[in-house]
Chain A
Amino acid sequence: MQWSSDIAQVAASGLLMGLAYALVAVGFTIVFGVMNVVNFAHGHIVMAAMFASFVLNRYLGLDPYIAALCLFPIFLVVGALLYHTSIAPAVGASPATQMLVTLGLLIVIENTANLIFGGDLRSVRSPIGEGSLHLGTLVLPMSRVLAAVGSLLAIAALWAFLRFTRFGKEIRAAASNELGARLVGIPIQRVFIQAFALATAMAAFAGAMLVPFYLINPFIGYDFMLKAFVIAIIGGLGSLPGAVLAGLIIGVVEAFGDFYLTASYATALVFGLLMLVLLFRPAGLMGSFRS
């Protein structure tokens, strides 16, 4: 029976991680869906939030889960500033321009973190996240359970927000038909700022939920950027349910790949999957809220 409990354990950790990955990807998918910008710096915002959590923990003694709640509004402002300074001029420009501007942001964020913190691996601990949850034969580390639950709640809240508030309707209108939205008097610039700020704050929240069980250095932003890409594209750019489904798939594929093969093969497998989806189902598994 060893193998069946192995499979259950691996699947469970894959699913937990998958939800956190989905949260990493939702901001990325919103920015693409709404303003058609591919944000290469998205993963680095996650990384920046992890270091912000590290600072709040080290110097103010804040628990990372409380820090997560503080980081959300802080990164709303950060997102609005980023949009104003560098994203706004690139909206509507050629894909190459957009890529280069966000790649420029990536370089700036990564090296600023490297300048301040250096390249050493660091960790943030929380007493709330210690211990494990035992379900039958399954042993689930509490910090990972909390990250999964927090991610699910955050995505659900975002979904309800987009679905039921006036602001959410404006975002969806801008995403499905920008010109039409302009014509009915929706202030597109304001909607774009708000959407980008929201996406940045979601990324920050994801980083803050992951940091209690993640070793961080300035270079992990790249991994999150790749994860966000894979999940957003497999799920369908702009689709929240798609992001959740794709996050779960990637989490599980990676967990099984890690366990039964090696980490390198797991990576190759995940990106092989991405390439196949791009070729055969470019709109992703769930389409998107644009179409």
Chain B
Amino acid sequence: MSAAGKPSPSALVVAAIAVAVALAVVFPFFVRQQMVVAGTFVLFSCYLAQCWNLAAGYAGQFSLGHTVFLAVGAYTSTVLFRDYAVSPWIGMWVGAGLAALLGAVLSAVAFWYRVRGVFFAVITLGSVEVFRGLFSEFDILGGTAGIFLISANDPVNMNFLSRIPYYEIILALVVLAAAGTFWLERSRLGQYAMALREDEEAAEASGVPTFRCKIVVIAISAAATALAGTFYAQFLLFIVPETLFSFDHMLNMMLGTIVGGSGTILGPIVGSLLFGVLGDVLRSLPVVNSQEAASLVRIGYGLFLIVVVLRMPRGIVSLWERRN
């Protein structure tokens, strides 16, 4: 089972990846702080796309509710730190556990009642609004005003004055997510997920435990997303429902994954890098002001998304696959 389908990558590919990762690691030491921050945001959207790719790309469960897991991660570690002085390095795993539990329960209820396809997307979108409403009300979560943390040189509590450690943390998460995806593709769970994505009835009939499999993949995806939530909270030192539940995060996850190639290891990374770097380059051009540039860039994203979905449904990485 484990060897089915996916060949091991060639030595050349491994070497190329090692070089790319090494370059990414040393990158922030040679550029201005502004570039480090830009790189951090690009890697953050890469990582979120990778998380979403697990549920949507591999298991075919088109969630529009991943911002809930992002928020659970951010709020759990932040509240644990503020009220109980628990280091976010530990709190992030508590958040991941809670998000996994929440993802499992929500999807178990949805799948138990045979909510599928587009209705699964709608019910997850609904959950965002429910949690946005609840998170805005609870005083312990700071309400609509959110929670501020104080910037300090405190590495034990994931708080740095330099931007470089943040960059390296999110880079490590991206690499870990890629490795995790690589493992998933070759695991029994991943094979099950891809089988049910292609044809749920056929998979069920061939003995794939589709119900359990979908829930496990979504729980993993939710936990991974929650880790990004803690990172986001520590990077900005400020959390508020408005930004955490923003539909923009959801759109970025989808754009990167779909344009790059969903259900592949490199797809979400390639897609998010493309959008991130393209966006930063266009924004830095002197011809338009930054507000207009941001709008123009996003119009381009939207058009690009439509074209890719209709003309190249397997994304940019499929170009490379086709040549081989």
Q: Does A123 contact B (CB under 8 A)?
A: no
Contact B310 A105 (CB under 8 A): no
Q: Within B109-168, which residues are at the interface with A (CB < 8 Å)?
A: 109-110, 113-115, 117-119, 121-123, 125-127, 129-134, 136-137, 144
Provide the residues of chain B in CB contact with A280, threshold 8 Å. 113
Q: Please tell me which stretch of B30-38, B85-93, B301-309 contacts chain A, meaning at least 4 of its Cβ atoms lie within 8 angstroms of it.
A: B301-309
Q: Mark A88-118, 1 if CB is under 8 A from B, else 0.
A: 0110000111111101111110111011001
Taking CB as reference atom, which chain A residue is nearest B122?
A: A229
Chain A, Cβ-Cβ closest to B129: A271
Does B132 contact A267, Cβ atoms closer than 8 Å?
yes
| B291 interface residue (CB < 8 Å to A) | yes
Contact with A along B37-70 (1 / 0, CB 8 A): 0000000000000000000100010100000000
A81 at the interface (CB under 8 A from B): no
User: In the docked arrangement, what's the CA distance between A280 and B112, Å?
Assistant: 11
Using known A-B contacts A107-B301, A272-B130, determine if residue A233 contacts B122 with beta carbons closer than 8 Å: yes
Q: Using a Cβ cutoff of 8 Å, how many contacts connect chains A and B?
A: 129
Residues of A within 8 A of B204 (CB): none
CB-nearest residue of chain B relative to A110? B298
Size class of the A contact interface (CB-based, 8 Å): 35 or more
A111 pairs with B62, CB closer than 8 A: no
Q: A95-B118, A104-B303 are in contact. Are A111 and B295 (CB under 8 A)?
A: yes
Given contacts A108-B299, A114-B295, A115-B299, contact A99 B130 (CB under 8 A): no
Q: Note all chain A residues with C-beta closer than 8 A to B118.
A: 38, 95, 98-99
**B62 pairs with A279, CB closer than 8 A:** no
Cβ–Cβ contact B302 & A279, under 8 A = no
Is A201 part of the contact surface with B, judged by Cβ < 8 Å? no
Is B201 an interface residue, CB under 8 A from the partner? no
Q: Are A282 and B119 closer than 8 Å at their CB atoms?
A: yes
Q: Is B211 in contact with chain A by the CB < 8 A criterion?
A: no
Partner of B115, one of A111, A115, A278: A278
**Which residues of A pack against B, CB within 8 Å?**
38, 86, 89-90, 95-101, 103-108, 110-112, 114-115, 118, 222, 226, 229-230, 233, 262, 264-272, 274-275, 278-280, 282
A-B pairs, 6 with minimum CB distance: A268-B133, A107-B302, A108-B302, A104-B306, A115-B295, A104-B305
Residues of B that sit less than 8 Å from A by CB: 56, 60, 62, 109-110, 113-115, 117-119, 121-123, 125-127, 129-134, 136-137, 144, 247, 251, 254, 258, 291-292, 295-296, 298-299, 301-303, 305-306, 309-310, 313
Q: Given contacts A107-B251, A115-B292, A269-B133, could you give 15 more A-B pairs where the C-beta distance is less than 8 Å?
A: A89-B310, A101-B309, A105-B302, A105-B306, A110-B298, A111-B296, A111-B302, A229-B126, A230-B126, A264-B137, A265-B133, A268-B134, A268-B137, A271-B133, A278-B110
